[in-house]
């Protein structure tokens, strides 16, 4: 499977879907995702404006020039970029929907932990849905963008992501073929126009199962869920 698929090309940016298991950063002499995209598309230089963890698949926005990168980065800094993710867990969360908010602190061996303090909190809203006994689908809407934010948030709910070897102590009872986190929808404004993208996951037996597909069809567009209007 390719490391990415091209979704859209615009004068100032491109949108791709990253494959699960592909590292964003270069590792051990192997080129990271961005150099792979540049080479495959014959582009001299692309400018990342956000990132996805290695285990995470889905929509990724890359600017085509420094000016566009700065304009898109400004949208991210002012929290005007709307992102929705999908996650699967085989454990019931401590609450079925709501807000998870707290400061994040780096712990041992590169892992992060969620604190109860609210000095500069990471914030994620979520809804969860029962797919079948022992499997829940989560729609996540982060309003901040911290390292491992969604993975730590899921662990804090008592529902770590299936296949997340770092934040699922002891591992899932479900047989895993990937980490089940996917960047599902992306919406932002650029040059006075609103761009909205949505991409179903195509990797992982659970993500492509009929039960999950049916649940996603029932949910519809994630932006249409009853999220609070004001943060």
- The residues annotated with a catalytic role in the active site are 53
**Burial class of residue 132 (count of CB atoms within 10 Å of its CB; 0-12, 13-18, 19+):** exposed
Q: Please, are residues 75 and 31 in contact by the beta-carbon 8 Å criterion?
A: no
Q: How many CB atoms lie within 10 A of CB 212?
A: 23
SS (H, E, C) 148-216: CHHHHHHHHCCCCCCCCCCCCCCCCCCCCCCCCEEEEEEEEEECCEEEEEECCCCCCCCCCCHHHHHHH
Q: Which residues contact 26 (CB under 8 A, 6 or more apart)?
A: 32, 35
What per-residue string of b and e applies to 68-94 under the rule 16 or more CB within 10 Å gives b? bbebbbebeeeeebbbbbbbbbbbebe
Sign of dihedral through CA atoms 56, 61, 64, 70? negative
Q: What angle do CA 172, 186, 129 make, to 5 degrees?
A: 40
Q: Please, are residues 85 and 139 in contact by the beta-carbon 8 Å criterion?
A: yes
């Amino acid at each position: 499977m390719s490391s990415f698929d091209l979704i859209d090309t615009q004068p100032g940016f491109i949108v791709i879907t990253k494959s699960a298991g592909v590292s964003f950063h270069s590792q051990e002499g192997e080129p990271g995702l961005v150099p792979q995209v540049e080479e495959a598309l014959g582009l001299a230089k692309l400018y990342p404006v956000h990132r996805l963890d290695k285990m995470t698949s889905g929509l990724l926005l890359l600017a085509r020039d420094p000016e566009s990168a700065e304009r898109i980065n400004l949208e991210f800094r002012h929290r005007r970029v709307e992102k929705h993710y999908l996650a699967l867990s085989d454990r019931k969360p401590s609450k079925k929907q709501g807000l998870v908010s707290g400061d994040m602190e780096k712990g041992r061996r590169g892992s992060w932990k969620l604190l109860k303090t609210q000095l500069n909190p990471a914030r994620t809203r979520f809804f969860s849905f029962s797919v079948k006994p022992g499997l829940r689908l989560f729609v996540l809407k982060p309003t901040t963008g911290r390292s491992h934010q969604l993975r730590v948030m899921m662990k804090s709910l008592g529902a770590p992501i299936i296949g997340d070897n770092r934040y699922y102590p002891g591992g899932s009872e479900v047989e895993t073929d990937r980490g089940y986190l996917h960047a599902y929808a992306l919406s932002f404004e650029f040059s006075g126009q609103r761009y909205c993208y949505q991409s179903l996951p195509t990797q992982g037996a659970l993500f492509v199962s009929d039960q999950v597909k049916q649940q996603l069809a029932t949910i519809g567009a994630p932006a249409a869920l009853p999220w609070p209007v004001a943060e």
